[in-house]
Amino acid sequence: MFFIALFLFTYTHFSYSQQISNDQLKHAGAGFVVSSITYTTIYATTKNKKLAFYLSIGSSLLAGFAKEYIDSREFNTKLDTGEALATGVGGFVATTSFSLFIGKKKKPKDVALVN
C-alpha cells in the first residue's frame, strides 16, 4: 500500500509540469488561424491537398519561430521553442481538420431504374 501511495504522489507531482499555459493556448490559436488561411488559399488555387497540407504546417511553424526569434531579440532572452512548437501544434490541428473534411466529394452511384 505504501508503494502505491508513493507512486500516486510522485505521479501527481510530475503532472504539474505538464500543464499548458495561457500563452501557449494563444500561440496554438494563432497557429490555427495562420494554418487555416494558408490551407484554404493554397487549396483554392491549386486543388492539391498534399501541397496545401505541407505548406500550411510549414507556415504555422515559420510564424511561431519568427515570432519567438523577434521576441528573443527584442527582450534579450533565449528562443522559447515550446511556444513556437505550440504554434505549430495549432497549425497541425487546423491542417489535419481541413485535410480530412475538404476534398473530393463522393459521386453518387448510378442507380438502375427497374420497371
pLDDT tier for residue 10 given thresholds of 50, 70 and 90 = low
Task: At 83, give phi and psi (nearest 5°).
Answer: -70, -35
Per-residue exposure over 66-91, b if at least 16 CB sit within 10 Å of its own CB, e if not: ebbeeeeeeeeeeebeebbbbbbbbb
Q: What is the pTM of this model?
A: 0.73
Quick check: 28 pLDDT over 90? yes
Quick check: 14 pLDDT over 60? no
